[in-house]
Structure formats: structure tokens, C-alpha cells
A and B are shown apart, each in its own frame.
Chain A
Amino acid sequence: MTTPRPPALRRRRWPLLAAHAVLLLASLPAVAGSPAPVVKVGSKGFTEGVVLGELLAAVGRHAGAVVEHKAALGGTQIVFQALEKGDIDCYVEYTGTLTQEILRAERIRSLEQAREALARRGLVMMEPLGFNNTYALGMKESVAAALGIDTISDLAARAAEPEIAALAFGFSDEFVKRGDGWPAVRDAYRLEQQPQVLDHSLAYRGIETGHIDVTDLYSTDPEIRYYGLRLLADDRGAFREYKAFVLCRADLATRAPQFVRELERLAGSIGNADMLEMNARVRLDGEPERAVAARFLRNRFGWEIDTEEPTAAVRIVGDLLRATRQHLLLVFVSLLAAIVVGVPLGVYASLRPRLAQAILGAVGIIQTIPSMAVLVFMVPLLGLGWRPAAAALFLYSLLPIVRGTFNGLAEIPAHLRESAEVLGLDRWARLWLVELPMASRSILSGIKTAAVINVGTATIGGLIGAGGYGEAILSGIRRADPAQLMQGAVPAAALALILQAAFELLERFVVPAGMRGHGRS
């Protein structure tokens, strides 16, 4: 029994062990007792957000901190709540978003008031980074140059000229409807053109083919470079400012003073052209966000930042293993909890016919809440990471399991229920020995549905730092990189199929033989 394994066998296990060791080391946040402060940087789920997150992370490493970047954390609500809760220490926010969305209820009039409101929450607003990512109007460079148009005022002042009057305006639906979009600029400049409303990507194509002359943009969109557009200066200040700034927790200054000092140096250092260039390198040239951020810091401050990344094959395999582990954790923890709660709930519903509709209705309503909304509820309670994602999946798993249990019990013929009753079996014995085994096929099928749906829904984990296959999918969408997207989508689909097959196998063990032979009577 204790004979050593042949060396060949042992050697074959080595790479696997090594891979595990690497994963383990990589997942340790910091060595205990190390003097280097640990800093957690967050970022919003779009290209510019992630680039800026990598930038802050690089600054942190330069300042000697151990940095963890929780990248692409869904929307504003989730990132801001994570900051308040202390799951992250800092991220980049925009002035317009701060006043109009985060502090909307407090009717902020100036940035000074905003600073005070943030201070009450233990947060600090640092000086703006420089660029202003707001709405803008853009024209094809060649057309704008030929007509000599540089500002929005030019469009208004020369509206009587036939070439100017003939310009076609094509705007996105959101821009036309938002008060701070087209209505604001139309009123400020007294523009009289009638815009067409169309999808943003179609508007760009229209610009390319000459069917559209003026469209709406964000002022740091990489499309500006790609389509060769000229941004018309907003010389009357019609558009609200969306200046980027670092938002951080007040306690960061004491925990990582060097990091905060270096962050302060970023103020005013990133211009619109710089940001646009960085966005374009990621979106158009497919460079990793981390490399783009490092290059910027090298050029601007002369910092040497190590961006060495493992080779593609090692990275892909490592990412896949990690994502699979995270994904399985999400799916199984939530599924297990849903079974523990859902099956008894289904049994209870079947015992209380009057309550049954209320119970099924309630778990049905949960199902209709968009996952993003559930996450916004969960993050303040459970923070970032796998917990809120698993909690959301748990809620989504309830309906199929409760309904499978309820239906399975309801389908038992009345005369068999009565037979069990008249036989003299007590309530528990009837449930355990007769009713649940007879409902087992339906219960298991509910669990299977929940598991397969969970595999797909668990991709939302990518939005709140829970990892899983969703991370690759979101990053693929963000960088418009189909190969990256496939690294998440293909394993997710494969996992769903594997689970489906596993459940069919499980059915043979769980569902009693007499319940399976339906076609044999």
C-alpha cells in the first residue's frame, strides 16, 4: 500500500502541481507583515474606466504599494458603493456624474459643495486629471476644413449659407432626448436644423459615406481618430462638464501616503488628446490596458513600469483555470443554497394551497428583476466579489426549483396520496417515503434548469469582481475583441452542456427505477 509511485507517474503530476502553486501565490494579496501598504483600485466597466484603473494601479506600484485592480466593476452605483464600503480605495469618476447621479438628491451647485458632501462620507475628491469627457459635436475633418468650421458657433452664425444649411445632423436617440444633450446645445446656439435620430454606429457609417455631416460624440471616443473627425469647440459651454478626477477614501492618505502624493501629481496631466489616444490604442489597436497606461506614465513622468506579461498561451490557460474555478464556485454555492431553501419552500407551497400562488408569484417576480438591479442592491450589503454574485444567482435559482418541487408534488394522483394516508403513514413518512420520491424527477429537472441557467447568468460576476467566464466576455465586448469574448463564451457554453449531461446521469441514481419506466407498462 505504501510503495512509492513509479517516478514516471510522479513526474507527470509536476506541471499540474506547479500550476496550482502559481495560482495559489497569485491569489495571495500580500505577504503578512510586509511593510508595503495594500491598495485596492476599482474601475468602471468601459474602456476608458479600465485604462484609468490600470493607470492608478501603476501609480500605486510605482509608489511601492501592493496593488489589486478590481477591473470593470459594472456601473457607477456599484463602483461608488464599493468605495463607500471600503471594498476599493479609489477609482476615477466624472464631475457631471458626481453631481447629476451620485449626489443628485443633495442638489449640489458647486464642486466645493460636492467636496463637502463627499467628505461627510469619508471620501476625498482629488484635483481633475485634465480631460473633459463630455458630449461633443463632430464632423468629418475634410468636410469641416473645406467649410472652415471650428466651433458650434460657426454652425449657428453661418446657418443662412446654403452649404451650411444643407448639412445633415444625425444623432443618437439618447442625445436627442437628454436635457443636457441636443436640447441644451440647440437652445444655447439657437440652432434650427432638424436632426435625424439613428443608432450611434449607423451615424458613424453615415459620416463615412457622407449621408450624415454632424453627429454627437463623447469627446474622448476613439472613433474620433478612427473616422478622422473634427470636434467642434463648445465655445458657449452648452454641454455639462464631465471632468475626470480621482475619488478616494479619506483614510487612504494615512494608509498609503506615498501613493496619495503620487496620485496628486496626476492632476492636470492627462489632456483630451492623451485620453483619446489611450482609448484608441486599446479599442482600435488591441493593446492591453495595462501596457497603454504604462506607456503614458513613462512618456509623461519618465517612470519605468514593468508591464511584462506572461506569454499568451500561459496567460490563456491560467485565466481559463481561474475563471472555471470562480465560475463553478458561483454556480454551485448558489445552487446548493437554492436547493436548501427552494425544495422546502416548494413542499410548503404544496401543503398550503392558498399560499402557493403567493409563494410562486414572489419567486417569479424575483426572476424578472434585471441582474444589474439585483447587484446594485447586493453590493452595499455584501460588498464586491463572489458573495453578491452568488446571492443574486441564488435568487434566480429559486423559481425553477420551487416550481419543480411544487409541480412534482401536485402531479401525484389523489388516489395515491390517499392510499398513503389510509395506510397509516404519518405526514413525514408520506412526504419522505412516497411523495418526494414520486416528485423526484420533477424536482431534479427544476434543479437542472436552475443549474444550466446559472452557468449563463453567472457571467454577471464579471461586473462586480467575482471573476468567472463573464470577465473575459465583458472584456471582449469592451475591447471589441471577438477572440477574447470567445475565451469566456465558449467555456460557459461547454460548462452548460456538461452540467446538462451530468444531470441526466444523476437522474439514473436519484429518480427511483419504477418512476423511470414510463414507456414500459
Chain B
Amino acid sequence: MLEMCDVSKSFAGRQVLQPTSLAVARGQTIVLIGPSGCGKSTLLRIIAGLVAPDQGRVLIDGEVFTAANAAAMRRRMGYVIQDGGLFPHLTARANVGLLAGRVGWKSERVRDRVDLLAGLVRLSPEALDRFPSQLSGGQRQRVGIMRALMLDPPLILLDEPMGALDPLVRFDLQEDLRRIFRTLGTTVVMVTHDMGEAGFFGDEVVLLGDGAIVQRGTLDQLIHAPATDYVRRFINAQRLPGTGGREPATGGVA
């Protein structure tokens, strides 16, 4: 489904991404994780076409992403960022339906699809007619996800989508999102710095450090068979239950 071959990137002489290859199978959810500055966001932005790689190429369904086919390629992917990235001058409904209207959908079809998606992400119908500034953080993120899903793209990219949400709202949204992606069979690439979230979503977790992939595997593999000392230290720093971190609840008291 998604394939990256020897993609690298430097900014102002600093190599933020070493030549990296990554393949994601259809329907798979991959989580990119690592400390800030490790290159995970750059990797995601290269897939989205927001950053042009110095070398290497990105293929979606075997087709190379170029400047010429950018607009068409992007319609095959949905992109969700922190706080939804909604346009403040449009209502939630208009935000979600913007592109569909542009590519020639009839207004009834747009309306039906938006209503369907609102049900899917559990957004109340009244919220659809509000402007982003009138919505809660969780609602804005749900609208952002609706917008990404509007044209039913096979690939969804999420850049720290839960970053701005408080824990309870985040918990609900995480549950909903996993359900939606499983239902739709979407291929997902998500960036997060939260190991718990990575384990919850990811079929596989890709840990990056210093602009390169250090280990790719299930969360279990990363915890129980860390490839390097860096992996072990990163896992420990997350204080996950049962990983040997100094998490009070796992310190043998119970």
C-alpha cells in the first residue's frame, strides 16, 4: 500500500532523516514513535508531500508521489493534525464537505456523507453547524477526522492527533478511532510520543532515534526483545506497566 525507499532529508545542513525505507501493508496500522527531533514527524510530512525528500521516493499503491500528481495523490489520503487543523471561517459541516464540493459531489451526497461520518465519530448533529471556535477540543478533533475520512481514502495519516486533549476525552476518542479504522479497514500511519497510545493502536510500532529507524515490531517485541540499549531506555522512560520502569503500581506492592 505505502512504500518509502531510501528517503532522506536535511534541513540547513543537519540531517534530520537518514536514508530510510518503510513499507506498510494495506489495512495495517503503523505507529511512528520516538523522542522529539528523532525524525518521525518529518517522515510523516514526507508521506503527505509537505516536505520533499532530498533522495528516495514515496509510492502509494505502486505510484510514485511527484509534484505533478500531488493533488490527486493527496485525495487518496486523509491527514489529521493536533486540534484538527480546521478552517476557522467555515462551519464544521463546511470544513468536512469542502473538498467533496470541489471535486464535484452533489450537495445531497455531501450532506448524507457528512451525516453518516458524524454518526461514525459520534459528533452531535448540532455541532455540525458551529464554527471551530464554538466547539470543544474533542469535537474539533472529531471534525478533523471526519474531514480526513470524507472521500473515503485508503490511507490516513495522523500527526499527534490526541496531543491537545485531556485524558478522559482522549480515552474516548482513542476507542472510537480504533473502532473506525478497523471497521473501514483503513491503512494508518500515526505519529505519537506516547508509548501507551502506540501500543493501543499499532499493529506495529516503529521506534526512531537520530533520524533513523532503530527497531520495528510489535509493542511486545520492543518491550521484551529491545534491539539496542536505546530501545530499552526509551521503553523504560515511558513507565509502562510491567516493563521494569519505576512505575509505583508495578513495583511489587500489589
Which of A's residues lie within 8 Å of B, judged by CB? Answer: 415-416, 418-426, 429, 433-434, 437-438, 440, 512-515, 517-518, 520-521
Using A419-B85, A512-B89, A514-B90 as known contacts, say yes or no to A424 and B75 having CB atoms under 8 A apart: yes
Alpha-carbon distance A438/B132, docked complex (angstroms): 13
Query: Which chain A residue has the least Cβ–Cβ distance from B75?
Result: A424
Q: Are B99 and A520 in contact (CB under 8 A)?
A: no
Q: Are A422 and B89 in contact (CB under 8 A)?
A: no
Q: Are B74 and A424 in contact (CB under 8 A)?
A: yes
Alpha-carbon distance A517/B79, docked complex (angstroms): 26
Which 5 residue pairs across A and B have the least CB separation, nearest first? A514-B131, A419-B85, A512-B89, A424-B74, A422-B79
How far, in Å, is B166 (CB) from chain A's closest CB?
Answer: 16
Q: Are A515 and B89 in contact (CB under 8 A)?
A: yes
| B217 interface residue (CB < 8 Å to A) | no
Which of the residues A418, A424, A438, A513 comes within 8 Å of B131, measured between beta carbons?
A513
A to B CB contacts below 8 Å, 23 in the list = A416-B88, A418-B50, A419-B79, A419-B86, A421-B49, A421-B50, A423-B98, A424-B72, A424-B74, A424-B99, A425-B71, A429-B102, A434-B87, A434-B89, A437-B89, A440-B89, A512-B89, A513-B131, A515-B88, A517-B131, A517-B134, A518-B133, A521-B133
Query: Which chain B residue has the least Cβ–Cβ distance from A434?
Result: B87
How far, in Å, is B110 (CB) from chain A's closest CB?
Answer: 14
Using A419-B87, A425-B99 as known contacts, say yes or no to A517 and B133 having CB atoms under 8 A apart: yes
Using A517-B131, A517-B133 as known contacts, say yes or no to A422 and B88 having CB atoms under 8 A apart: no
How does the 8 Å CB contact mask read for B65-87 relative to A, with 1 for contact and 0 for none?
00000011011010101100111
Q: Are B134 and A423 in contact (CB under 8 A)?
A: no
How far, in Å, is A508 (CB) from chain B's closest CB?
Answer: 14
Residues of A within 8 A of B132 (CB): 514
Highest count of chain A CB atoms <10 Å: which of B77, B88, B131, B147: B88
Query: Which chain B residue has the least Cβ–Cβ distance from A436?
Result: B89
Q: Are B71 and A433 in contact (CB under 8 A)?
A: no
Q: Are A438 and B87 in contact (CB under 8 A)?
A: yes
How far, in Å, is B219 (CB) from chain A's closest CB?
Answer: 28
Residues of B within 8 A of A423 (CB): 74, 79, 98-99, 147
| B31 interface residue (CB < 8 Å to A) | no
| B235 interface residue (CB < 8 Å to A) | no
Interface on chain A toward B: helix, strand, loop, or mixed SS? helix
| B188 interface residue (CB < 8 Å to A) | no
Residues of A within 8 A of B133 (CB): 514, 517-518, 520-521
Number of chain B residues close to chain A: CB under 8 A: 27
Query: Which chain B residue has the least Cβ–Cβ distance from A513?
Result: B131
Residues of A within 8 A of B85 (CB): 415-416, 418-419
Alpha-carbon distance A515/B99, docked complex (angstroms): 20
| B191 interface residue (CB < 8 Å to A) | no
| B187 interface residue (CB < 8 Å to A) | no
Alpha-carbon distance A514/B94, docked complex (angstroms): 11
How far, in Å, is B163 (CB) from chain A's closest CB?
Answer: 12
Query: Which chain A residue has the least Cβ–Cβ distance from B133?
Result: A521
How far, in Å, is B143 (CB) from chain A's closest CB?
Answer: 12
Residues of A within 8 A of B98 (CB): 423, 425, 433
Which of the residues A416, A421, A517 comes within 8 Å of B87, measured between beta carbons?
A416
Q: Are B71 and A424 in contact (CB under 8 A)?
A: yes
Q: Are B87 and A420 in contact (CB under 8 A)?
A: yes
Q: Which of B37-72 contact A (CB under 8 A)?
A: 48-50, 71-72
Residues of A within 8 A of B49 (CB): 421-422
Alpha-carbon distance A181/B89, docked complex (angstroms): 67
Alpha-carbon distance A426/B102, docked complex (angstroms): 10
Which of the residues B48, B71, B91 comes within 8 Å of A426, measured between beta carbons?
B71
Residues of A within 8 A of B89 (CB): 434, 437-438, 440, 512-515
Alpha-carbon distance A440/B194, docked complex (angstroms): 39
Q: Are B74 and A422 in contact (CB under 8 A)?
A: yes
How far, in Å, is B158 (CB) from chain A's closest CB?
Answer: 12
Query: Which chain A residue has the least Cβ–Cβ distance from B153?
Result: A424
Residues of B within 8 A of A416 (CB): 85, 87-88
Q: Which of B160-192 contact A (CB under 8 A)?
A: none
Using A423-B147, A425-B102, A520-B133 as known contacts, say yes or no to A514 and B88 having CB atoms under 8 A apart: yes
Residues of A within 8 A of B72 (CB): 424
Query: Which chain B residue has the least Cβ–Cβ distance from A435?
Result: B87
Alpha-carbon distance A520/B77, docked complex (angstroms): 33
Residues of A within 8 A of B48 (CB): 422
Residues of A within 8 A of B81 (CB): 415, 418-419
Alpha-carbon distance A422/B44, docked complex (angstroms): 12
How far, in Å, is A417 (CB) from chain B's closest CB?
Answer: 10
Q: Are A433 and B74 in contact (CB under 8 A)?
A: no
Residues of A within 8 A of B86 (CB): 419
Given contacts A420-B87, A514-B133, 7 further A-B pairs with CB under 8 A are A415-B81, A422-B48, A422-B157, A423-B79, A429-B102, A434-B89, A514-B90
Residues of B within 8 A of A521 (CB): 133-134
Residues of B within 8 A of A437 (CB): 89
Alpha-carbon distance A346/B109, docked complex (angstroms): 37
How far, in Å, is B69 (CB) from chain A's closest CB?
Answer: 11
Alpha-carbon distance A520/B87, docked complex (angstroms): 16
Alpha-carbon distance A422/B50, docked complex (angstroms): 7
Residues of B within 8 A of A420 (CB): 87
Residues of B within 8 A of A512 (CB): 89-90
Residues of B within 8 A of A514 (CB): 87-91, 131-133
Alpha-carbon distance A433/B90, docked complex (angstroms): 9
Query: Which chain B residue has the least Cβ–Cβ distance from A515?
Result: B89
Highest count of chain B CB atoms <10 Å: which of A418, A423, A437: A423
Query: Which chain A residue has the least Cβ–Cβ distance from B72?
Result: A424
Residues of A within 8 A of B131 (CB): 513-514, 517
How far, in Å, is B124 (CB) from chain A's closest CB?
Answer: 18
Q: Are B134 and A520 in contact (CB under 8 A)?
A: yes
Residues of B within 8 A of A518 (CB): 133
Alpha-carbon distance A423/B81, docked complex (angstroms): 12
Residues of B within 8 A of A418 (CB): 50, 81, 85
Alpha-carbon distance A422/B48, docked complex (angstroms): 6
How far, in Å, is A439 (CB) from chain B's closest CB?
Answer: 10
Alpha-carbon distance A419/B98, docked complex (angstroms): 12
Alpha-carbon distance A517/B98, docked complex (angstroms): 21
Alpha-carbon distance A416/B74, docked complex (angstroms): 16
Q: Are B88 and A438 in contact (CB under 8 A)?
A: yes
How far, in Å, is A43 (CB) from chain B's closest CB?
Answer: 54
How far, in Å, is A351 (CB) from chain B's closest CB?
Answer: 16
Residues of A within 8 A of B50 (CB): 418, 421-422
Alpha-carbon distance A425/B131, docked complex (angstroms): 21
Residues of B within 8 A of A440 (CB): 89
Alpha-carbon distance A521/B48, docked complex (angstroms): 30
Residues of A within 8 A of B90 (CB): 512, 514
Alpha-carbon distance A425/B48, docked complex (angstroms): 13
How far, in Å, is B228 (CB) from chain A's closest CB?
Answer: 33
Query: Which chain B residue has the least Cβ–Cβ distance from A423?
Result: B99
Alpha-carbon distance A62/B86, docked complex (angstroms): 76
